[in-house]
Amino acid sequence: MIKLEIGKGYEKEKIIVSKNEEIYVVGNSGGSLDLEVILEKEGASANIYGIVIGRGNDSYKIRTTSFHNAPNTNSRVHLKGVFMDSSSMDFFGMINIDKVAQLSDAYLKNDNLMIGEDCRVNSSPQLEIKADDVKASHGVTISTIDDEHMYYLMSRGISFSDSRDLLIEGFINEIKL
Amino acid sequence: MPKELSNQEIQFKNSNSQYKEGFHMPDSSTNKFKMGLNEDVVRNISKLKNEPKWMLDFRLKSYGIFMSMKMPDWGADLSGIDFGKIHYYVKPSDKQEVSWNDVPDDVKTTFDRLGVPQAEREFLSGVKAQYDSEVVYGSLIKEMSEKGVIFLGTDEALKKYPEYFEEYFGKIITPADNKFAALNSAVWSGGSFIYIPKGVSITKPLQAYFRINAANMGQFERTLIIADEGSFGHYVEGCSAPVYTSASLHSAVVEIAVKKGARFRYTTIQNWYSNVYNLVTKRAYAYKDATMEWIDGNIGSKVTMKYPSVYLMEEGARGEVLSLAFAGEGQHQDTGAKMVHLAPNTSSNIISKSISKKSGRASYRGLVKVSKKATNVKSNIVCDALLLDPESRTDTYPFMKIDNKHVKIGHEASVSRLGAEQLFYLMSRGLSEEVASALIVNGFIEPIIKELPMEYALELNRLIELEMEGSVG
């Protein structure tokens, strides 16, 4: 297991995976990270989980690239962001499947919860697929807290800010650190 | 009759016998500019068309912008374009006709073989046919012209209705937008102008057919469409070109204004021969409660770079793009969509389907932008790519730039190949592998095909089937 804390000297990381690896990315005060994960041996797999929280003027610049350079390799990227105040993030997430990497399976997901009135998110999930017998997909969601969820909690006597915190917690807890 | 083909051309033709639009007529143009581009070419086009001075100034300014801009450093490989080896203006005949009988024979034969007059009789409200640089034929059924609908070649419309041009021409897509928009603005010729008056609905589509006949041709049509308040219209364009070994360039600009409460649908079925660079800028402004829909089918060409866009200018506007790309051997389809949300309560939807075969490469490139003041925006993007064999390639390059928190943005993309289980299921019921594959592909593109008028749906299905021939086994 590898843990990377954004803003703590991990600006550029290249991780070569020959068996399997779990990588956790955490961001709590902005910063940048350029993470390259290279699946080099047949059957290798990598799971990358990330949670970033922005407050005040925090800004994140995050780039992940999953290189599938061998057959039958597997990658998962799941990045969740919560943005308060005027925090922001630029995210670029590439899945690159080489011609030789048949039977590979790649997935990338980026979910963003927009809380602050002036928060801002740029998200760019990307696929470059040169082999045909593969599974590759990605998804992005960008939204704010659902009014109906807030209503449900508040109608049960929970205060506005507690309800909000509960929903944010629920959003983050999907990823187990 | 077609002139005799050189050996090289015949060989070329035989190897591409599926492309039924690959014939060409002898070049009987009445005015063909020498290859190459300079300021005199721009001046001569304007002079020949007897244009007002502001248009010449616009062209010259655009030429300057074109010369100063670099080629795009992203997207497809455009190194095969030699701007010095293109005819920038080829005039097929001296005037636009209103009866097919008056159209020069070779031009008429071309459009007959492409089925344009027949389609006009059967299911269209009006037709424009452009051959090389000029519109050679135009018609509009009487009930539409009585309601005040205007459907003209852009050159003719500029003379008759300059007021619309001052308001919109070059305003929705400025010459500085990109290098090819600048090129088009400098040397544009032909294209369609449509005005639909307030509250008028055009029930049957209007169609334009763009045909390149001359070799080394650059076709730069310019289309301007204004759908006035509460109106509805549907415009369909088709494109094809003969089989030549040298490259041609098609670089159009299409500007559309969809006013309050109006709805406009623009359908393209692009089937250029695989020597054509197709680099097109298309953009619509959708105003209050207006809806703009692009249906973009890209089958042919060597390289296509085209991202129809909708700028959602006022509250309640809605944009939709359905994009279909088929990248066969040696082709690169770099297509997608752009949605720019500039007002609250706007929504957009993008569905992109691509198929790559042999060395073909299909790339989706898209943008969804939500500005700071655009609150309560909903946008949904779905991209599916199908790979038919190990040589093919697909890419997805979406960009989401979201500056407002009250949004619901969803994007998903997936890549797959023809499923072995799906094939097995169909083949175990007695279908050949080829038929089974074609059936799966048809199912894959169905969400887009079903949005087309019946005749075009059949045509597109036929084209896909031709492309699929020999793709398995």
B413 part of a folded domain: no
Chain B contact for A115 (CB, 8 A cutoff): yes
Task: Compute the 3-state secondary structure of chain B and give helix, strand, coil in percent, each to the nearest 5.
Answer: 25, 35, 35
Contacts of B131 (CB under 8 A, 6+ apart): B92, B93, B107, B110, B111, B211, B213
Write the pLDDT tens digit of every residue in A22-39: 999 999 999 999 999 999
Candidates B397, B405, B417; nearest CB to A126: B397
Candidates A83, A102, A127; nearest CB to B396: A127
Q: Please give the pLDDT value at position B137.
A: 85
**What whole-number distance in Å separates Cα of residue B97 and Cα of residue B129?**
10
Domain that holds residue B467: 420-473
Candidates A122, A133, A137; nearest CB to B414: A137
Chain A contact for B373 (CB, 8 A cutoff): no
B320 part of a folded domain: no
Chain A contact for B279 (CB, 8 A cutoff): no
Chain A contact for B408 (CB, 8 A cutoff): yes
Six-digit token pair at A140? 């992005």
- At B345, is the pLDDT very low, low, confident or very high (cuts 50, 70, 90)? very high
**What whole-number distance in Å separates Cα of residue B267 and Cα of residue B141?**
20
Query: Chain-wide mean pLDDT for chain B?
Result: 90
Q: Are the beta carbons of A99 and B406 separated by less than 8 Å?
A: no
Percent of chain B with pLDDT over 90: 63
Sign of the Cα torsion B152, B156, B160, B164 reads positive
Strands B31-32 and B90-91: antiparallel
Residue B469 has pLDDT above 80, yes or no: no
Last residue of a domain, one of B289, B306, B323: B306
Dihedral-angle region of residue B449 (phi above 0 means left; psi in -120 to 50 means alpha; beta otherwise): alpha
Q: Are the beta carbons of B397 and A124 separated by less than 8 Å?
A: yes
Candidates A117, A137, A143; nearest CB to B413: A137
Last residue of a domain, one of B267, B283, B306: B306
Nearest Cα of chain A lies from the Cα of B227 at a distance, in angstroms, of 33
**What whole-number distance in Å separates Cα of residue B160 and Cα of residue B47?**
17
Percent of chain A with pLDDT over 70: 99
Q: Please give the pLDDT value at position B473.
A: 41
Six-digit token pair at B79? 């190194």
B393, B356 contact by CB (below 8 A):
yes
**What whole-number distance in Å separates Cα of residue A140 and Cα of residue B339?**
16
Q: Which of A74, A52, A47 is nearest to A62 (CA)?
A: A52
Q: Are the beta carbons of A126 and B398 separated by less than 8 Å?
A: yes
**What whole-number distance in Å separates Cα of residue B152 and Cα of residue B161?**
10
- At A10, is the pLDDT very low, low, confident or very high (cuts 50, 70, 90)? confident
CA angle B83, B186, B30 (to 5 degrees): 75
Q: Worst-scoring range by mean pLDDT, B22-26, B92-96, B267-271?
A: B92-96
Same domain, B181 and B34: yes
Residue B15 has pLDDT above 80, yes or no: no
Nearest Cα of chain A lies from the Cα of B467 at a distance, in angstroms, of 18
Q: Are the beta carbons of A141 and B407 separated by less than 8 Å?
A: no
Mean pLDDT of B195-214: 92
Number of domains forming the structure of chain B = 2
Same domain, B12 and B134: yes
Write the pLDDT tens digit of every residue in B420-465: 888 999 999 999 988 888 888 888 999 888 888 887 888 788 778 7
Residue B468 has pLDDT above 90, yes or no: no
Alpha helices, DSSP H, located in B396-432: 420-427
Q: Which of B213, B221, B222, B223 is nearest to B272 (CA)?
A: B213
Q: Are the beta carbons of B405 and A114 separated by less than 8 Å?
A: yes
Which residue carries 């939709």 as its tokens? B320
Write the pLDDT tens digit of every residue in B381-411: 999 999 998 899 999 999 999 999 999 999 9
Chain B contact for A7 (CB, 8 A cutoff): no
Q: Please give the pLDDT value at position B6.
A: 47
Show me where the domains of chain A are located.
2-144, 146-177
Chain A contact for B397 (CB, 8 A cutoff): yes
Query: Chain-wide mean pLDDT for chain A?
Result: 95
**What does the buried/exposed string (b/e) look like for B38-57 if buried means 16 or more CB atoms within 10 Å of the residue's CB?**
eeebbebbbeebebeeebbe
Q: Which residue has the higher pLDDT, B458 or B129?
A: B129
Same domain, B293 and B437: no
Q: Please give the pLDDT value at position B10.
A: 41
B370 part of a folded domain: no
- At B1, is the pLDDT very low, low, confident or very high (cuts 50, 70, 90)? very low
Candidates B387, B394, B413; nearest CB to A138: B413
DSSP B2: P
Q: Please give the pLDDT value at position B19.
A: 80
Amino acid making up residue A17: V
B111 part of a folded domain: yes
Last residue of a domain, one of B251, B279, B306: B306
Q: Which of B265, B268, B263 is nearest to B280 (CA)?
A: B268
Write the pLDDT tens digit of every residue in A62-108: 999 999 999 999 999 999 999 999 999 999 999 999 999 999 999 99
Minimum CA–CA partner of B369 in chain A: A122
Q: Which of A112, A121, A114 is nearest to A84 (CA)?
A: A114
